[in-house]
């Protein structure tokens, strides 16, 4: 498995497991009352942020209602601009749920099939693409080579920061130069940013419009997500933009762009917790696709492997993945969730569907684990169970 995923770092697994074992003190005594909940939630985030440092935005929703929404710290240290609920953060791999939805909309339109071979979409793709389906790309069973690894090999001796940025089209071209996959498609699972870059190009080819424009017309505009954008340098604009930072020996360095920051399908969407409330509503109310049409996205991937061979997810448990969502439960509570990690940004979206609880945490700093923080909030609600 590629160690440094743009969407994930395996080191978060330990933090997630620790969060699962270490509950908030009051939660252990029982469910916290609704009146004290905002103060309890605030205490979690106030403890890890400061007003003059990069920070985060958080929203907590229960039973379809926003019960907590707040920004902490700075979105731009140069201009001393503060984080608010409308601050737009790079979502990193939380973008994948939007890419998956774009594909699902094309399937709904009758323009694409989940079991359609990649070579049906791109006839000039090498022969090995005949065995890769759209479903394989969605659930990370394609076996495609890591474009990050291929980038590094293409520029030997060049530091990662100096490697030119690549776009989704460039990722597709890289795959067209390969002769095969890491494993036969559908036989194993490996998290793949490559697959989602290729999916962006699939959407672009089938819809006959740029991927960013498709997201805007079919998802963001219909849902009223006015600040959300798949960012393309020189072609559109991120309003209320948070810039990414890394703490280097006590000094905050702006680390906002990397060689992988120009791809869209795997991590290029910017959004705010205020806009993601609208996304949460759409998922809950089946605004874009019906509950039946959504079901494939919420069905864990099936593999021809026994338990001993089954790959592990970032929480250390046997992985359960649908289309753009991890599906592993937490403390027995069903959930759909994702974590994002890009240079300068860490993000997490946790949706506990049966509990009607959603927690979204977006950070523009790399020293915080938003999934761990989100689970601490969940523990406040689940402590009495």
> Is it the case that residue 1 has pLDDT exceeding 70?
no
Cα 306 versus chain centre, distance? 28
Tokens coding 89? 């953060």
Q: Give the model's pLDDT for residue 303.
A: 95
> Is it the case that residue 340 has pLDDT exceeding 60?
yes
* Fold (topology level) of 12-382: Beta-lactamase (3.40.710)
The per-residue pLDDT of the chain, averaged, comes to 91
More confident residue, 260 or 45: 45
Q: Give the model's pLDDT for residue 33.
A: 59
The region of weakest confidence among 10-24, 95-109, 195-209, 277-291 is 10-24
Q: Quick: pLDDT tens for 140-184.
A: 999 999 999 999 898 988 887 888 999 999 999 999 999 999 999
Q: Is 251 exposed, middle or buried (0-12, 13-18, 19+ CB in 10 A)?
A: exposed
HSE-CB for 69 with a 13 A CA cutoff: 16
pTM: 0.90
Q: Quick: pLDDT tens for 246-263.
A: 999 999 999 988 888 889
């Amino acid at each position: 498995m590629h160690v440094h995923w743009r969407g994930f770092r395996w080191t978060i697994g330990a933090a997630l497991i620790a969060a699962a074992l270490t509950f908030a003190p009051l939660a252990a005594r029982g469910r916290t009352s609704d009146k004290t909940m905002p103060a309890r939630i605030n205490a979690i985030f106030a403890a890890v942020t400061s007003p003059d440092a990069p920070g985060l935005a958080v929203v907590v929703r229960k039973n379809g209602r926003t019960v907590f929404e707040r920004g902490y710290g700075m979105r731009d240290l140069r201009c001393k601009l503060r984080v608010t609920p409308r601050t737009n953060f790079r979502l990193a791999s939380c973008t994948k749920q939007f890419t998956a939805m774009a594909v699902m909309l094309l399937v709904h339109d009758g323009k694409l099939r989940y079991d359609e071979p990649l070579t049906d979409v791109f006839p000039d793709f090498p022969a090995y693409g005949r065995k890769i389906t759209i479903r394989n790309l969605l659930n990370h069973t394609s076996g495609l080579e890591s474009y990050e690894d291929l980038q590094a090999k293409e520029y030997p001796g060049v530091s990662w920061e100096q490697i030119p940025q690549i776009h989704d089209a460039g990722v597709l071209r890289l795959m067209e130069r390969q002769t095969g996959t890491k494993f036969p498609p559908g036989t194993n699972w490996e998290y793949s940013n490559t697959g989602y870059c290729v999916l962006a190009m699939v959407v672009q080819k089938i819809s006959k419009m740029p991927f960013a424009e498709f997201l805007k017309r079919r998802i963001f505009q219909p849902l009223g997500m006015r600040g959300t954008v798949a960012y393309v340098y020189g072609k559109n604009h991120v309003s209320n933009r948070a810039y990414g930072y890394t703490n280097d020996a006590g000094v905050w360095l702006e680390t906002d762009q990397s060689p992988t920051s120009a791809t869209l399908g795997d991590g290029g969407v910017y959004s705010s917790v205020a806009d993601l409330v609208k996304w949460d509503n759409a998922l809950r109310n089946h605004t874009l696709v019906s509950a039946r049409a959504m079901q494939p996205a919420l069905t864990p991937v099936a593999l021809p492997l026994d338990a001993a061979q089954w790959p592990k997810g970032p929480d250390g448990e046997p992985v359960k993945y649908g289309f753009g969502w991890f599906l592993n439960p937490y403390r027995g509570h069903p959930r759909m969730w994702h974590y994002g990690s890009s240079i300068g940004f860490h993000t997490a979206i946790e949706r506990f569907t049966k509990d009607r609880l959603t927690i979204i945490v977006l950070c523009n700093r790399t020293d915080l684990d938003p999934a761990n923080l989100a689970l601490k909030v969940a523990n406040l609600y689940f402590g009495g169970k």
